[in-house]
Amino acid sequence: RHDRRVIFIATGTLIIVGSVLSACVQEFGMGPKCLLAQLVVCRGVLGFGIGGEYPLSATICAEGTAARRRGTLMAVVFSHQGLGYLLSALVMVALVFGGASPEFTWRFALAFGAIVPIISLHFRMQMHESEA
């Protein structure tokens, strides 16, 4: 049996690793197909992390909240996904209009997804396992 806390840490770590490695892909003199192959693998790692993160965050949120506030908190948690999409788009627009190079912009865009999981990793490690 795996604790939800351990799996929550693992999914966050997969997101961090997938995002950072996506930003670090290289052609190694073999052309864009090599770059694409690396991106497919790295984004696959990221996808496994996100695939575990969404249902697990909903479960942890629901279990750790009083019944009368559960719906509100669940709505807040999932509405922040939209805010994250908006923030990432605004950051990319700022980079483009700020004169950042195209290569830096796409690499930063891919690495940007690791920021929140990096910040939350400490809190995930301090979590207590739920009773359920």
Per-residue confidence band for 1, with pLDDT thresholds at 50, 70 and 90: low
- Chain segment 14-52, per-residue pLDDT in tens: 999 999 999 999 988 898 899 999 999 999 999 999 999
- CA–CA dist 37, 87 (Å, integer): 28
Average of per-residue pLDDT values in the chain: 91
Whole-number Cα distances in Å, 6 to 2, 60, 102, 123: 7, 12, 38, 12
Predicted confidence at residue 132, as pLDDT, reads 60
Q: Is the pTM of this model over 0.85?
A: yes
